[in-house]
Amino acid sequence: MPSSQRQGKSITVMDINELSSKIIGSAIEVHKTLGPGLLESVYEECLCHEFGRRNIPFKRQLQLPVQYKGIKLDCGYRLDVVVADTIILELKACEEIEPIHKAQLLTYLKLSGLRLGLLLNFNGIVMKDGIIRLVNELKENNGTG
């Protein structure tokens, strides 16, 4: 999964920030329309529909293999949504974001080689209170070694 390529071009920090803003705008629109209290799968479906309307490229339920000591293992992990092969979205519909949710997204970033993730919790009264941006700064070898 490429971490800094899109259609043969490098993604700049400005591109990533602009893309993040578009993602957040889409999430706010979905939340404003539906409100809190629905299943995570409903928000995923509607968010992806909103991305389609806004011409934002995405992939849903992308398989994430685990690299363990040089071996790639299919352990059944799936990323909720990956936008433009660059940003992982971990969607939640829970009472509050717990530290394990952040740890989970950071692990997904590490395993995928991507640097930016957004944790989006649709179960709050105001969507902006349910958005957490996480950056993986580590340059590790995906768990090998």
Tell me, what's the pLDDT at 100? 96
Burial of residue 77 (number of CB atoms within 10 Å: 0-12, 13-18, 19+):
middle
Domain 11-135, CATH class in plain words? alpha beta
Tell me, what's the pLDDT at 7? 43
The token pair that represents 57 in the structure block: 């490229």
Strands (DSSP E) found in the chain: 5-6, 9-10, 58-63, 66-68, 71-73, 78-83, 87-92, 116-121, 131-135
Burial of residue 99 (number of CB atoms within 10 Å: 0-12, 13-18, 19+):
exposed
Q: What letter represents residue 62's amino acid?
A: L
Residues in the chain: 145
Tell me, what's the pLDDT at 5? 39
Cross-strand partners of 59? 82
Low-confidence ranges of the chain (pLDDT < 70): 1-10, 138-145
pTM here is: 0.84
Burial state string for 9-41 with b = 16 or more CB within 10 A and e = fewer than 16: eebeeeebeebbebbbebbbbbbeeeebeeebe
The token pair that represents 128 in the structure block: 């902006």
